[in-house]
Each structure stands twice: as structure tokens, then as C-alpha cells.
Amino acid sequence: MEGCDMRNAAKRLVAPGKGILAIDDNADVVFPRFAELGIEQTGDMLKNYWSMVTSVEGLSEFVSGVILSEDAIAMDMQHGKSFLQGLAAEGIAAGVGLDQADIALPSSEAEKVAGGLDTLEKRLTAHAAYGVHFAKWCMPVRITEALPTDFGYQVNAIQLARYAAIAQSLGIVPIVEFDIVTEGDHPIERCTEVTGRMLEAIFPALHTQRVDLAAIVLKPNMVTAGRGNAHFRNIEAISRQTVSVLRRFVPADVPGIAFLSGGQSPTESTANLNAINMAGRDAPWPMTFCFGRALQDPAQSAWQGQASRRKDAQRALMHRAKMNSLAQRAIYDPALENQD
């Protein structure tokens, strides 16, 4: 894609009422979830699952893009492009998650960065030729009293910016993601501070690497207290702090912000997204969802690995996508949960 096309593609990913479905976990993450639900942990089951979620009729009303794993793309190549064709038939853009297993930061062993930057260009060139239009790279961030360090912020930001520059050089829209994990009992103010420092490091790094900000999607965590803190679920504080830190640090030319769900329950993440959009009605960028677990969990529970439940699972996914679409427009009402 040329620069102008990339800008348009980024805008389409965050179009009004639409968000992104992230199914880019590989088998090592999906299989433990299958095991909890009593689903067989085999390649065939993975194929059935990925085929089911990439062929939901009507999903494009609420979902603009689906992020696949590299394993799913490799499987798709073997089986005649069924996942990509399913998405294309619905008018949904295909994306790919590219970060690999975390590696310890040299000189700061308690911190990690995502691995795989050295092979990124080669992998992404092949994915682009295969029909992938956008990409995702996630940088994991842990909060403790001592972490992140200044060094951690800088190295992670440079790495994210390198990824984004490589993606754009190949005509691929980069989703620039950081995930401040919720483990710990820190107050929400600490997450606000770390989120702000991440953003403060990322944008100069993107600028230095000559990344076109109008052709990215920013994917941050919502700002929350640590999971062990009594205020973890304070929706008013989450929406207020999230909007205020984004307003302070995210330039207006970024076309959109798409949040990860971070282990919040499906309805919690929808309610938080709704509250964020209410608090940020006049924000310069649309704010939407790019959820993994919060969109997939109800579908996986409904499916249970059984062909006879495929339609139920697809309905469950549609329902969550619709609820999140309403939240993107700040018109979600929990009473609607039982109406589909």
C-alpha cells in the first residue's frame, strides 16, 4: 500500500461503530484455554476454531479487522486460504501478530522486551504478499515499585518504533501496542503514571523512525489499578484516568485508539469502553476495541469444540461484537446483554 492508502486503511480499522478482533494467540496460549473448557488440544481443533471465527456472517457490521497468529497464517497456507477468504468475503481486513517470545532486557534482567525484531522484515514481507493488510506488535510492561526503569521505557519505545517503521515501509498499517499487565496491587495513579511515561517515550521514537502517525493505530491498555487493589473495578476512575492520560500524550493526527481488554471480563471491558467514550466524547481520535479474550471467551464457552454448537459460538461472538460496537458509540446499556 502507498502512504495515502495506508492512512485510509488505518482509518477504516477504527471506523465509527467498528473495532478489531484479536485472535493472534498461538497454540501455547490457546490450548490451556481449550483444556479448561474440555476441548481437545489438537491442530484440527485449532483449525476448526479459527475457521469458525473467521467466517461469521455479518460480523463486518461491527468488526473491521481480525488479527491472526503466524501459526494461523501458516495453517491457512496449507489448507487453501480458508481463513483469509472467509474474512475477505465479509469485507474484514486480515492482520497478523508479529511479536515473539519475550526476552530479558540485557542489563536489566527483571524487564523483558518482545523477541523477533531481527526476523520481522522477512516474515512480514511474506505475510504482506499473502494478503495481510495490518500488523500488531505488543510490548509487555510490568509494574513494580522499581519497574519499568528509564532504560526499559526507552528500549521498548525504540523497538516498537522500529517495528512500525518496517511495517509501513512494506505498506502495512502497524498497530502499536503496549500492555501494562494488571498483576500487582498498585493504585490506579501508578498505572496512569506508567501509561503516560510509555506514551511520552513512544511518540518521539516514532518520530525519530519517521513513522507516519496518520497511518498507525495505537493500542494501549485501559488505565486501571492493579488486579489486587480494591479499586481495580472502579469504572469512573478507569474512564477518567484513561481519557486524561491519552489526551495529554497522544497527538491528534493518530487516526484511532483501540484498547486491549487485559483480562477484564467480557461485560466489564464493554462497560469500561462505553464509559471511556462517554468521558472522551470530544476527543480528537475515535476510541474502540481490539479485544482478545473479552471477545473470544463467550464464543469458546458456547462452542466447547462441538460442530453442532458452531452456530451458537458464532452468535456469541456476534453478540459481544455488537455490544462493543455500541460501547464505541457510547450507547451501550447492560440491559441489552440479554436481548439477542
Active site residues: 177, 219
Selected range binding ligand 13P among 20-28, 207-215, 233-241, 249-257, rule: CB under 6 A? 20-28
Determine, following the binding rule CB under 6 A, whether residue 18 of this chain makes contact with ligand 13P.
no
3-state SS class at 125: helix
CB of 137 to ligand 13P, least distance (A): 10
Rounded Cα distance, 193 and 50, in Å? 37
Phi and psi at residue 112, to the nearest 5°: -125, 155
Smallest Cα–Cα separation from 144: which of 95, 101, 191? Answer: 191
160 contacts ligand 13P (rule: CB under 6 A): no
Among 6, 9, 19, 24, binds ligand 13P (CB under 6 A): 24
Q: Give the Cβ contact number of residue 32 at 10 Å.
A: 11
Verify binding: residue 291, ligand 13P, rule CB under 6 A.
Answer: yes
Restricting to residues 221-260, name those near ligand 13P by CB under 6 A.
260
**In the complex, minimum distance from the CB of residue 72 to ligand 13P, in angstroms, rounded to a whole number:** 12
- Closest to 160 in 3D by CA, of 223, 101, 204, 224: 204
Cβ neighbours of residue 311 under 8 Å, at least 6 residues apart? Answer: none
Interface with ligand 13P, residue 261, by CB under 6 A: yes
**Is 262 a residue that touches ligand 13P (CB under 6 A)?**
yes
Stretch that binds ligand 13P, among 114-122, 180-188, 250-258, 289-297 (CB under 6 A): 289-297
User: Does residue 299 interact with ligand 13P by CB under 6 A?
Assistant: no
Give the contacts of 133 (CB within 8 A, at least 6 positions apart). 1, 9, 65, 93, 94, 95, 172, 173
Q: Which is nearer to ligand 13P, 136 or 253 (CB)?
A: 136
Residue among 292, 318, 323, 328 that touches ligand 13P (CB under 6 A): 292
**Angstrom distance (rounded) from CA 332 to CA 275:** 9
* 293 touches ligand 13P (CB under 6 A): yes
Nearer to ligand 13P, 25 or 111 (CB): 25
User: Does the protein bind ligand 13P through residue 285 (CB under 6 A)?
Assistant: no
C-alpha cell at position 61 = 457490521
Kindly tell me which residue out of 52, 245, 273, 294 binds ligand 13P, with binding defined by CB under 6 A: 294
Nearer to ligand 13P, 244 or 265 (CB): 265
The residue among 166 and 260 lying less far from ligand 13P, judged by its C-beta, is: 260
Label residue 173 exposed, middle or buried (CB < 10 Å: 0-12, 13-18, 19+). buried
Q: Binding of ligand 13P at residue 22 (CB under 6 A)?
A: yes
CB-based contacts of 34: which residues, under 8 Å, 6+ apart? 40, 41, 45, 300, 305
- The residue ranges that bind ligand 13P (CB under 6 A) are 22, 24-25, 97, 260-262, 291-294
